């Protein structure tokens, strides 16, 4: 897509005509559904998954299990030789072979079921907190799953949002994006409606899928989705890369080489000695097999599996899910874990719990009937605070939710501003009416540099007046 991309050179009107959209109203719901059916969901194609039977075979025949299988086969071979040459062969080798086989099968099944159970839970996590996108369809702002975004959608992004698709920017207010995951640029890049470079990867009027908007706001038309995005093309190229072995897997492999070398060396040495001392070759072979099997640590695989499983269960009690048992040992040598919190460890939902005004901390009343109010709502300071929280706020309720409790309504907007919107809606009534009485004139969006937001709104028959929200 990006090789032949020319939308950055087109005017906004040309882009709208190409994608059959409207710069104000956006797509219609019917046309969006048509495009979604045509292009498929806005998601990267996942890499091919490993069949379950292959995973099961890896547990049975991978790593240290190979050594035990070799020992079991040699035991059965020794017993077969004894049974063919003796009238009443001893059953020691047969029993040892059965025990080794049982150990390998039981530990392999246990490891497979542990990882299969964890994998299913991890799969369920993917849909727990899906990425959202704010789109404008038929003139209404709608929060939808990012996978439902289609080419031609008119979307809005703000500081802290992830760009849900490749978009052609049509308007921006102090918008900067972090392209480090795509280009390696550590500094945030400005975004504006103007074409500044012939190369679509360098121009400022295109924002790319999976990059982050770090400050400001922007509105744009989606031009590429899913695998057709720039990031999608890169992901396709990297899908064939294989992950390296875990530390414990490397150590076990090294241990197997040592044990195998020692066992074969001792076995061959004693085989030669047995021949020199006058034993028959069958007796010497049985002696060889016995020496090799004796050097196999039969209980090591079961011990390692049990230790890792007990550790995984201990971690599960602390809400830590282990997907791969070998990762437990790797985690044990980890000193620092860096993770994104919002949307990963939390659901990015906030609620106003306390407010500070009149030099006091007041507890917010979150009841629908406002029966738990602990402060004087006639206070001039509270009225000023409520006005700023309601007017200097970009969040708004989605349409058609009048019959739903305020705290349970879906909101299009930032998590912090959504919490303020619900608080003021509960305490002061309709925020929409408040905004209708005070039309917006100008705005400086919040950004991480200034750490404030400013809006200028009309008042009743007087000159415009400003509101500032930190």
Q: Which domains does the chain have, with CATH numbers?
A: 7-42+149-237 (2.70.150.10), 52-125+253-332 (1.20.1110.10), 354-469 (3.40.1110.10)
Please give the Cα distance from 102 to 92 (Å, whole number). Answer: 15
Q: What is the mean pLDDT of residues 442-448?
A: 76
pLDDT tens sequence across 457-469: 887 655 444 555 5
What's the helix, strand, coil split of the chain in %, to 5? 45, 15, 40
Where residue 219 falls among pLDDT bands split at 50, 70, 90?
A: very high
Average pLDDT over residues 420-432: 90
d(CA 222, CA 209) in angstroms, rounded, equals 10
For the segment 159-171, the average pLDDT, to the nearest whole number, is 88
User: 217 by DSSP, 3-state: which?
Assistant: strand
Residue 348, pLDDT above cutoff 70: no
39 part of the active site: no
Q: Which of 87, 340, 369, 436 is catalytic?
A: 340
85-94, 159-168, 207-216, 382-391: segment of lowest average pLDDT: 85-94
For the chain, give the longest Cα–Cα distance. Answer: 118
Say yes or no to pLDDT of 141 above 80.
yes
Beta-bridge partners for 164: none
The pLDDT of residue 43 is: 86
Residues 6+ apart with CB under 8 A from 128: none
Tell me the sheet residues that pair with 224: 166
> CB–CB of 167/129 below 8 Å?
no
Q: pLDDT category, 176, cuts 50, 70, 90?
A: confident
Higher pLDDT, residue 361 or 449: 361
- What's the mean pLDDT in 323-331? 77
Q: What string of H, E and C letters represents the secondary structure of 236-298? A: HHHCCCCCCCCHHHHHHHHHHHHHHHHHHHHHHHHHHHHHHCCCCHHHHHHHHHHHHHHCCCC
Residue 162 gets which letter from DSSP? Answer: B
Residue 222 has pLDDT above 90, yes or no: yes
pLDDT at 126: 57
pLDDT at residue number 463: 45
User: Cα(311)–Cα(124) distance, rounded to whole angstroms?
Assistant: 23
Backbone φ, ψ for residue 169 (5° rounding)? -70, 130
Higher-pLDDT residue of 353 and 50 is 353
Q: Within a 10 A sphere around the Cβ of 316, how many other Cβ atoms?
A: 13
Residue-wise pLDDT tens digits, 123-137 = 665 554 557 889 999
Exposure of 46 in the CB half-sphere (CA atoms within 13 A)? 5
Does pTM top 0.85 for this prediction? no
What pLDDT, on the 0 to 100 scale, is given for residue 1?
47
Tokens read off for 240? 């064939």
Query: Does residue 64 or residue 224 have the better pLDDT?
Result: 224
Say what the pLDDT of residue 220 is: 93
Mean of pLDDT over the chain:
81
Percent with pLDDT over 90 in the chain = 11
Cα(333)–Cα(294) distance, integer angstroms: 33
Tell me if 32 sits within 8 A of 68, measured CB to CB: no
Give the number of other CB atoms < 10 A from CB of residue 410: 13
Bridge partners, residue 218, by sequence: 157, 172
How wide is the angle at C-alpha 124 spanned by C-alphas 409 and 224, nearest 5°? 75
List pLDDT tens digits, range 12-56: 899 899 998 999 899 999 999 999 999 889 888 777 777 888 888
Q: What is the mean pLDDT of residues 228-253?
A: 74
Tens of pLDDT, residue by residue over 261-318, are 888 898 889 889 988 888 887 778 877 888 877 777 767 777 777 788 888 888 878 8
Asked whether the predicted pLDDT for residue 334 surpasses 70, the reply is yes
Give the DSSP H/E element, type plus range, for residue 222.
strand 212-224
Q: Rounded CA gap, 18 and 3, in Å?
A: 18
Q: Which of 236, 218, 217 is nearest to 226 (CA)?
A: 236
Choice between 113 and 25, residue whose per-residue pLDDT is larger: 25
- Among residues 195, 231, 198, which one has the least CA distance to residue 212? 231
What is the predicted pLDDT for the residue at 448? 65
Task: For 361-411, write each residue's pLDDT tens digit.
Answer: 988 887 877 777 777 888 899 989 999 999 988 888 877 888 888 888 888
């Amino acid at each position: 897509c990006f090789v032949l991309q020319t939308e950055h050179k087109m005017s906004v009107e040309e882009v709208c005509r190409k994608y059959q959209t409207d710069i104000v109203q956006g797509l219609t719901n019917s046309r969006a559904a048509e495009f979604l059916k045509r292009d498929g969901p806005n998601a990267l194609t996942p890499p091919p998954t490993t069949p379950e039977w292959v995973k099961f075979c890896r547990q049975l025949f991978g790593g240290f299990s190979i050594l035990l299988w070799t020992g079991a086969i040699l035991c059965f071979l020794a017993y077969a030789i004894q049974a063919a040459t003796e009238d009443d062969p001893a059953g020691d080798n047969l029993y040892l072979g059965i025990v080794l086989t049982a150990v390998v099968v039981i530990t392999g099944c246990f490891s497979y079921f542990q990882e299969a159970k964890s994998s299913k839970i991890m799969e369920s996590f993917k849909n727990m907190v899906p990425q959202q996108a704010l789109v404008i369809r038929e003139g209404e702002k709608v929060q939808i799953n990012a996978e439902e975004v289609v080419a031609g959608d008119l979307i809005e992004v703000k500081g802290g949002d992830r760009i849900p698709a490749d978009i052609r920017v049509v308007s921006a207010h102090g918008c900067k994006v972090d392209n480090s995951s795509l280009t390696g640029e550590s500094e945030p890049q400005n975004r504006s409606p103007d074409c500044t470079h012939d190369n679509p990867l360098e121009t400022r009027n295109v924002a790319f899928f999976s990059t982050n908007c770090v400050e400001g706001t922007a509105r744009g038309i989606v031009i590429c989705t899913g695998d057709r995005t720039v990031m999608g093309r890169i992901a396709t190229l990297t899908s064939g890369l294989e992950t390296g072995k875990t530390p414990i897997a490397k150590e076990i492999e090294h241990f197997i080489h040592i044990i195998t070398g020692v066992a074969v060396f001792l076995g061959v040495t004693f085989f030669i000695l047995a021949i020199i001392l006058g034993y028959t070759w069958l007796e010497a072979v049985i002696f060889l097999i016995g020496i090799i099997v004796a050097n196999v640590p039969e209980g090591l695989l079961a011990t390692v599996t049990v230790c890792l499983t007990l550790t995984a269960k201990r971690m599960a009690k602390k809400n830590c899910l282990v997907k791969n048992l070998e990762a437990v040992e790797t985690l044990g040598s980890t000193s620092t874990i860096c993770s994104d919190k919002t949307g990963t460890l939390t659901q990015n939902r906030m609620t106003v719990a306390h407010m500070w005004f009149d030099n006091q901390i007041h507890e917010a009343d979150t009841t629908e009937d406002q029966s738990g109010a602990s402060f004087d709502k006639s206070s001039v300071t509270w009225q000023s605070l409520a006005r700023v929280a309601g007017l200097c706020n970009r969040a708004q309720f989605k349409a058609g939710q009048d019959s739903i409790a305020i705290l349970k309504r879906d909101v299009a907007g930032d998590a912090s501003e959504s919490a303020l919107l619900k608080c003021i809606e509960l305490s002061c009534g309709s925020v929409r009416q408040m905004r209708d009485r005070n039309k917006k004139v100008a705005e400086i969006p919040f950004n991480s540099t200034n750490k404030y937001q400013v809006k200028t709104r009309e008042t009743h028959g007087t000159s415009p007046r400003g509101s500032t929200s930190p």
